[in-house]
Structure 1
Amino acid sequence: MVKDELFAHQQTLQRVIDTLTGDIETACQMVVTAVKADNMIFLAGNGGSAADAQHIAAEFTGRFVKERRPLRGIALSTDTSAITAIANDYGYDQVFARQLEGLARPGDLFIGISTSGNSQGVINAFISAKKMGCITLGLSGRDGGKMNSVCDLNIVIPTEVTSRIQEMHILIGHILCKAVDDMF
């Protein structure tokens, strides 16, 4: 069982290497550009994707590997008062969009994470981010879902297996952080 899981991970990683390296390099440039301009990096997702968003945001405000100044990054899944108030008053599908409408500025970067690419709350956040003049980056899986039409770039992990998608999302998140570290 252990070797089967490791082999499945390895197969997914090989597909990512074979098909997504260029997109990941573009995503790195998007993040580097935002950091150089001192723009905010917002991240959002639900469930495991919320955990990934929080993890990546922490790498920006804390550090990844290299000692450097803290960077402007925040996961929109961390403010329980905002989430519960917005969900109560506007519906859960608005929790990320409403926060972006209050916090984002033109040139900021929004990274939305959804394994299916169809999380309505994340989709609505992309729509709001675009209206606010933000750059948008998606991390999804399967066929990319609705995120394909609402992101500047949607990196679609080529598998149907949620755990493999999530493993690649956090790997890509770490690659984005390495690109930032390389700036300093």
Structure 2
Amino acid sequence: MKNFIKKYIQNLTDILQNIDENSIISIKNALEETINKQSKIYIIGNGGSASTASHMANDLSIGLKTRGIKNFDIESLNDNSSICTAIANDIGYENIFYLQLKNRLKENDLLIAISCSGNSPNIIKAVSYAKDINCKVLGITGFDGGNLKELSDINFHVQTSRGQYGLVEDVHLILDHIIFSYYVETYNKKSLN
């Protein structure tokens, strides 16, 4: 077990050392554009990525709003289990995000799609719809990036071997915490001056 722990931590450390800092800056800028344009941010993901989507929506909305830092209008579309399961049961799982976005997503909005494989049919269908209406897509991917990496206007990618969900999901959540912590620390420094 000790050897596994050391190896896992080393792999995570190696991945973090190679994060594309410019993609994080692009993400921050895209988030702030939604305030300037008075538009909305939608986040989607399955499984562990759904959890990250919920966590990100929490941090970047209420987490920043209650501190008086930013007022992003964010919604995680996987958080309403009644809607997701009704669409999945009645129409098909590949439609759970697409149907929530249809005739609601606007060109100035931002769609954040989180997928380790980048190939989940429900993610790709929603992203394709966003691209059809010229909405900006931020893809957060792992493994080789899949189709989502290619379709994204901005991509935060965690390159790993296929199936290394733990490492990819760890780094995706760290991305959220980097952005959240940046805003909190920047705001606190301004408050002290």
| TMscore range, shorter length | 0.7 to 0.9
CA distances 1:86-125 after superposition (whole Å, capped 9, x unpaired): 2233210011011111421111111101111111111111
Q: What secondary structure sits across from 2:55 in the alignment?
A: helix
Q: For residues 138 and 12 of structure 2, what CA distance do their matches in structure 1 show?
A: 21
Q: For residues 18 and 45 of structure 2, what CA distance do their matches in structure 1 show?
A: 26
Instruction: Report which of the two structures shows the higher radius of gyration computed on alpha carbons.
Output: 2
TM-aligned CA distance change 1:87 to 1:81, over 3 Å: same
Contact 2:142 2:168 in 1 (8 A): yes
1:166 aligns with 2:169: yes
Which of the residues 165, 176, 181 maps onto 2:179?
Answer: 176
Q: CA deviation at 1:2?
A: 5.2
Alpha-carbon RMSD:
2.4
Instruction: Give runs of aligned pairs for residues 1-184 of structure 1, distance below 5 A.
Output: 1=1, 4-5=4-5, 7-64=7-64, 67-68=67-68, 70-160=71-161, 161-181=164-184, 182=186
CA distances 1:13-36 after superposition (whole Å, capped 9, x unpaired): 433433512222222221122233
CA distances 1:27-81 after superposition (whole Å, capped 9, x unpaired): 2221122233222110010011001000111112211497125421010001223
Contact 2:113 2:140 in 1 (8 A): yes
Larger relative contact order (CA 8 Å, sep ≥ 6): 1
TM-score norm. by structure 1 comes to 0.87
Q: For residues 75 and 149 of structure 1, what CA distance do their matches in structure 2 show?
A: 22
Q: For residues 59 and 135 of structure 1, what CA distance do their matches in structure 2 show?
A: 21
Q: For residues 90 and 150 of structure 1, what CA distance do their matches in structure 2 show?
A: 25
TM-aligned CA distance change 1:2 to 1:107, over 3 Å: farther
Amino acid at match of 1:142: F
Contact 2:64 2:71 in 1 (8 A): no
Identical-pair percentage: 28
TM-score norm. by structure 2 comes to 0.83
Q: For residues 55 and 93 of structure 2, what CA distance do their matches in structure 1 show?
A: 22
Q: For residues 40 and 47 of structure 2, what CA distance do their matches in structure 1 show?
A: 23
Which structure 1 segments of 5+ residues have no match?
none
Q: For residues 14 and 36 of structure 1, what CA distance do their matches in structure 2 show?
A: 36
